Amino acid sequence: MPKAILSVYDKTGLVELASGLVQMGWDLVASGGTARLLSHNHLPVIDVSAYTSSPEVLSGRVKTLHPAIHAGILSQDREEDRAELSELGWDKIDLVVVNLYPFERTIAKPEVTFADAIENIDIGGVTLIRAAAKNHERAVLVCDPGDYPEVLEYIRQGGVPAEVRKQLAIKGFMVTYQYDQAIHAYLSGSACESLRIYPILPLRYGENPHQEAALYGYGVHETPLGGKILQGKELSYNNILDLDAAWRAVTNFTDTSVVIVKHLSPCGIASASRLVDAYQSALACDPVSAYGGIVACNVPLDKETALEIRKLFVECVICPGFSSPVMEILAEKKNCRLLEMPDLEITPQYEYRSVNRGILKQTIDRGDPSEVNWQVVSKKVPDDAQWLALRFAWKACQHIKSNAIVFAKGTVTVGIGGGQPNRVDCVRMAAQRAGEKAIGAVMASDAFFPFPDSIEIAKEAGISAVIHPGGSIRDKDAVEAADRAGMAMVTTGVRHFRH
């Protein structure tokens, strides 16, 4: 009869798996709490100590570390191995079901002691995983309860295919790799943090055709940005960058909002009570740049907005949901990628960037902690309409490449400038794109004004109020320029560089 050894801490799905194996005539060998659970559910099981004729020792810390177990797992399908096992009175083991003590969960507890952490370093389980993974050409390893149903079904159909056994083995080595990394990081201190990434998607090329590229994620079963691709061509390297920029921006707004991104730069941001109005306003900010861009919505796409998007060539649309009628409308744009997101969460709460021979890490910028440090520094105080526009513009400018400048009216951007080495050119860019729409608008800047020239250019464009971090040794000059122009000026005390 085929034989399985079961030794698990997480007992999710265990009884169902074991029941299925018993129904197909398998013998079960189990240890400790695993054996007790199976017996409690009236399943025939051989205790490890009975199978090995060796008692569990050291309060159960040594159970499966026995030649009868590991020879059975590591034996190959050849006559000499079978003969040796038979002479010793041992059997080959065909299936290894195992998972590990929760070391990472243990050390995450605030009250954890060093002794508790050390006690939760699994030895026998890791050895079982490595043995079965090494001999995956014959034995089957299952170290993830999520794989139980699939493996059970394969066994019912006659056996687990070689490629599936290999993938299960790869997962096993990954589990032990992560486990050892966590132990190493704990014992070495947080300064020795390890970065774990896993391949998600091979890409045709990078930013340009002569560059190789691939997408990696922080989890084994991740999808692009955590979303689901519903239609369109395969995602490119540039698509993924733009989708990420658009999604990070649009999820920072609580009202119904649309962000249009081109080459990593938002070219239109708008909030409105109706999604179609937000889309049309975002598009109107810079319709030339929007061509071939990315559209992001923080609410499910509706028919009316889909009909408007269909009029424009866009590379991708990303939002929390696409209904069947919306899908029918956008199906005509066969090359347009649709990425459906499961929620509005941005995870993890940090980001990495590669540099020569190293990696930078920082927490993500999700805006000001509060408005507690905001100050009106000008003689003129913003009115209600200006306050609404200033708050919106301030949030919008956080997603523009530095030196970021946003002109806004209400909850709509009317001009955007960014990505230039000096702030004055960015103000000129925003003014040029806004044209007459700049008259009466407000201006947000991601960092302080080192000279009053930007304020003077904003005055010429028709800006009525300004918001910026402040903190320059020449803040007084900027305030005086605002007062001369009759502008309201607010400082926030928080900078939002985005390089």
Tens-of-pLDDT digits for all 499 residues of the chain? 899 999 999 999 999 999 999 999 999 999 888 999 999 999 999 998 888 887 777 766 777 788 889 889 999 888 888 888 888 888 899 999 999 988 888 888 888 899 988 988 889 999 999 999 999 999 999 999 989 999 999 999 999 999 999 999 999 998 999 889 888 888 887 645 667 788 899 999 999 999 999 999 987 778 999 999 999 999 999 999 999 999 999 999 999 999 999 999 999 999 999 999 999 999 999 999 999 999 999 999 999 999 999 999 999 999 999 999 999 999 999 999 999 999 999 988 889 999 999 989 899 998 887 788 899 999 999 999 999 999 999 999 999 999 999 999 999 999 999 999 999 999 999 999 999 999 999 999 999 999 999 999 999 999 999 999 999 999 999 999 999 999 999 999 999 999 9
56 C-beta neighbours (distance < 10 Å), count: 16
Inter-residue contact 443 to 426 (CB < 8 Å)? no
Pick the catalytic residue from 11, 171, 233, 263.
263
Edge-to-edge strands, sheet with 442-445: 228-231, 337-340, 314-319, 293-297, 257-262, 265-271, 412-417, 405-409, 442-445, 465-468, 488-491, 375-376
Q: What is the pTM of this model?
A: 0.72
pLDDT of residue 77: 85
Instruction: Supply the DSSP string of 194-260, one letter for each residue.
Output: ----EEEEEES-SSSTTS-EEEEESSTT--GGG-EEEESSPPPHHHHHHHHHHHHHHTT-SSSEEEE
Architecture category of domain 3-192 in CATH: 3-Layer(aba) Sandwich (3.40)
**Separation of alpha carbons 424 and 442, rounded Å:** 16
Fold matches, 228-340 and 375-491:
yes
Strand pairing of 337-340 and 350-355? unpaired
Rg (CA), the chain: 30
**Separation of alpha carbons 446 and 390, rounded Å:** 12
Separation of CA 442 from chain center:
34
Strand pairing of 405-409 and 442-445? antiparallel
Q: Which residue has the tokens 């520094």?
A: 377
Residue 124 backbone dihedrals phi, psi, to 5 degrees:
-65, -40
Inter-residue contact 402 to 497 (CB < 8 Å)? yes
Nearest CA-CA partner of 311 in 282, 333, 328: 333
**Separation of alpha carbons 364 and 181, rounded Å:** 24
What residue ranges do the domains of the chain occupy?
Answer: 3-192, 228-340, 375-491
Between 14-23 and 32-40, two packed helices, what is the crossing angle to 10 degrees? Answer: 70
Give the Å distances, CA to CA, from 376 to 256, 373, 461: 28, 10, 22
Coil, strand or helix at 60? coil
Nearest CA-CA partner of 47 in 60, 15, 142: 60
**Is 134 labeled as catalytic in the residue annotation?**
yes
**Separation of alpha carbons 84 and 30, rounded Å:** 23
pLDDT of residue 60: 65
**Is 263 labeled as catalytic in the residue annotation?**
yes
What are all long-range contacts of 85-92, with beta carbons under 8 Å and residues at least 24 apart?
Answer: 91/3, 92/3, 92/138
Q: Which residue has the tokens 């896993």?
A: 198
**Separation of alpha carbons 72 and 102, rounded Å:** 26
pLDDT of residue 190: 60
**Separation of alpha carbons 439 and 434, rounded Å:** 9
Inter-residue contact 270 to 278 (CB < 8 Å)? yes
Q: What are 7's strand-pairing partners?
A: 98
Coil, strand or helix at 38? helix
Residue 223 backbone dihedrals phi, psi, to 5 degrees:
-120, 170
Domain 228-340 is classified in which CATH homologous superfamily?
AICAR transformylase, duplication domain (3.40.140.20)
Domain 375-491 is classified in which CATH homologous superfamily?
AICAR transformylase, duplication domain (3.40.140.20)
For 436, the enclosing helix (H) or strand (E) is none
Pick the catalytic residue from 3, 134, 233, 380.
134
Between 148-156 and 162-188, two packed helices, what is the crossing angle to 10 degrees? Answer: 160
End-to-end CA distance of the chain: 64
Inter-residue contact 256 to 353 (CB < 8 Å)? no
Instruction: Supply the DSSP string of 448-499, one letter for each residue.
Output: --SSTHHHHHHHHHT--EEEE----TTHHHHHHHHHHHT-EEEE-S------
Coil, strand or helix at 128? helix
Q: Where are the alpha helices (DSSP H) in 294-346?
A: 303-309, 324-330
pLDDT of residue 49: 85
